[in-house]
Structure 1
Amino acid sequence: MPENPLPAYAKQPVGKSRIPAIFWLLLMMSLSLVIGTVLLSNDMKHLRTIDRYFGFGLFSYEIKPPPPKALPRPAPPASVRLPLHATEPATAQTASTFLRTWRISGAAMCAALRNAGIQTSEWAAASFNANTFECFFEHSGKREKDQLPSSIFVIVRGDAAGTINNMRVKIVNPKTDQNGQLDPSILRIFEVMLRQPQWLDFHEALDAIKNLRDIKEDGFGASITFSREVLNPDRYNFTLSLDATSGPQKRTRNYFSDRIWLPSPEPTVETDPTQPAPASAQ
């Protein structure tokens, strides 16, 4: 005989509850909205990050070069102390002791003589040769008794470029004082000629000329001669010339040529404004 079934009010075992599909659908939609909001926010920054990470290729990216590396700090400039003579312009007095050359043009030399009262002609081409330029001064005095007339002849000769070749003076029966020294008006000619080239090593020439003594000095291509004529004791000849003949002299002159160096300023005659202008040598 079968067992009696349980009464209708007897408790039945509890089964698992089922979640409706609509819930899952709503949940998925909510999550999608949240995720989409996160990915699309901030100009799709997160979406771009995921795209670059997984390589989906959803966006095109501009490749920016890496920022330049900072350059190393340069070392401070080295301090160099130059001697004073390296920045100062060379003076004619200093240069003349090293390089024997005319440091004044022929035209400037003639002007210096005129400023000293020796009225030379203008620097111009010589009548006998158009390539030779010169200026000169000539004066003759009156004859007294049996003596030769006193006379002075000065000439500065060079080329068309103004370079001096030589300077010459001839004096006949010159005026002297009670001590037998040359008259200052004539001595002034030699003072200008010796001072203007700035050749400081010829320091004894002027004193010899003042006392009418013969003298000859040579140095580094320059030559100064003042002598009395043998047959005519009252005639004196002066020559100042530059003739570079040795190898070292030629090489030095070529090295310091004006073609590769700036020309040195011409020295000027120093005058005292408080003193009156000198009279012409006559």
Structure 2
Amino acid sequence: MPDNSPSANAKQPLGKPTIPVVFWLLLTISLSLVMGTVLLSNDMKHLKTVGHYFGFDLFPPDVTPPPPKAPPRPAPPATFTLPLHLIDPPVAQTVSTFLRTWRISGPAMCAALRDAGIETSDWAAASFNADTFECFFEHGAKREKDQLPSSIFVIVRGDAAGVISNMRVKIINPETDQNGQLDPAILRIFETMLRQPQWLDFHETLNAIKNLKDVKEDGFGASINFAREVLNPDRYNFTLSLDATSGPQKRTRSYFSDRTWLPSPEPTVETDVPSAQLSTPADAEAPARNADHPR
């Protein structure tokens, strides 16, 4: 039988009304459209403001790349200025006062004499000593009645390596001009001997020889002597030698030895003055190399 009790007929309580899901979906879409419209309006000003507020930039500004740089200009070549004394040739005056050496070899000295017209022999071993090398020149003129015969003897001595030890000249009854000055052809011998070693500090010697006056000069181991014989006034002797005997000279010579330094080039033979040929005439009486000659 049906339950007709009062509790069964009592009214049931009503539940809360439910909102359909479609409503929420439509509301979300509507709000999104409104917010999108607001954010995108006015050239997206509001959207940029929101992004800046939260610390990020949705639309970074366009950065125009800088124009390409021009290639760097090449740097000018570096220039260096060397002091002139590093490239200039050695000055003979300076060299001769600092270190006295023979700046020409024996064979070159003999060749310089030949170029000046003094027909010396070749550089060869001496007949009396195989360790001594030399070249020489002899010239004798014809005897004139009671006068002494005129003669000239020139010799350059050294060793097998060509290092000169001394140079000597002997003239007997030399020819002179009306002023008593030595004949230029004979003077050429002394000019060559004094010029080639480049010992230019001996500046008074040649003038004295030209006037047949005695002269003696010494300087830093070198010795030049031109003198008339006491017992034979018509005979003259000339000696040019190098003898380093003092301690400073020996130490300087040892320091600048060719074993340590490159040898200096031999100076060129100057031929600015025409050479005067000295030759023995066919009827000349060639003097023998006796005690009168510096052998």
Q: Same fold (TM over 0.5)?
A: yes
Match of 1:195 in 2: 195
> How far apart are the structure 2 equivalents of 1:2 and 1:168?
174
Match of 2:87 in 1: 87
Q: Is the 8 Å Cα contact of residues 202 and 217 (structure 1) preserved in structure 2?
A: yes
Q: Secondary structure of the equivalent of 1:97? A: helix
Q: Is the 8 Å Cα contact of residues 154 and 168 (structure 2) preserved in structure 1?
A: yes
Please give the per-residue CA displacement for 1:63-107, whole angstroms capped at 9, x wherever unaligned: xxxxxxxxxxxxxxx998643112323233431232211111111
Match of 1:174 in 2: 174
> How far apart are the structure 2 equivalents of 1:95 and 1:117?
28
> How far apart are the structure 1 equivalents of 2:122 and 2:208?
30
Matches within 5 A, 1:186-225: 186-225=186-225
Q: Is the 8 Å Cα contact of residues 166 and 240 (structure 2) preserved in structure 1?
A: yes
Of 277, 280, 285, which aligns to 1:279? 277
Q: Alpha-carbon deviation of 1:159? A: 1.0
Q: Secondary structure of the equivalent of 1:258? A: coil
5+ residue gaps, structure 1, are 16-77
Q: Secondary structure of the equivalent of 2:212? A: coil
What amino acid sits opposite 1:217 in the alignment?
E
Q: Is the 8 Å Cα contact of residues 92 and 267 (structure 1) preserved in structure 2?
A: no
What amino acid sits opposite 1:218 in the alignment?
D
Q: Is the 8 Å Cα contact of residues 185 and 281 (structure 1) preserved in structure 2?
A: no
Please give the per-residue CA displacement for 1:27-62, whole angstroms capped at 9, x wherever unaligned: xxxxxxxxxxxxxxxxxxxxxxxxxxxxxxxxxxxx
Percent of pairs with identical residues: 77
Q: Secondary structure of the equivalent of 1:223? A: strand
Q: Is the 8 Å Cα contact of residues 228 and 236 (structure 1) preserved in structure 2?
A: yes
> How far apart are the structure 2 equivalents of 1:190 and 1:12?
151
Q: Alpha-carbon deviation of 1:147? A: 2.2
> How far apart are the structure 1 equivalents of 2:10 and 2:263?
140
Q: In the comparison of the two structures, how many residue pairs are matched?
A: 217
Matches within 5 A, 1:33-182: 82-182=82-182
> How far apart are the structure 2 equivalents of 1:150 and 1:176?
11
Moved more, 116-125 or 258-267: 258-267
Q: Alpha-carbon deviation of 1:2? A: 6.2
Q: Is the 8 Å Cα contact of residues 182 and 212 (structure 1) preserved in structure 2?
A: yes
Q: 1:14 to 1:229 in 2, by over 3 A?
A: same
Larger C-alpha radius of gyration, 1 or 2?
Answer: 2
Question: What is the TM-score normalised by the length of structure 2?
Answer: 0.67
Q: 1:89 to 1:2 in 2, by over 3 A?
A: farther
Q: Alpha-carbon deviation of 1:206? A: 0.8
Question: What is the TM-score normalised by the length of structure 1?
Answer: 0.70
Match of 2:67 in 1: none
What amino acid sits opposite 2:277 in the alignment?
A
What amino acid sits opposite 1:3 in the alignment?
S
> How far apart are the structure 2 equivalents of 1:162 and 1:277?
25
Q: Is the 8 Å Cα contact of residues 225 and 238 (structure 1) preserved in structure 2?
A: yes
Match of 1:3 in 2: 7
Moved more, 202-211 or 251-260: 251-260
Q: Is the 8 Å Cα contact of residues 152 and 171 (structure 1) preserved in structure 2?
A: yes
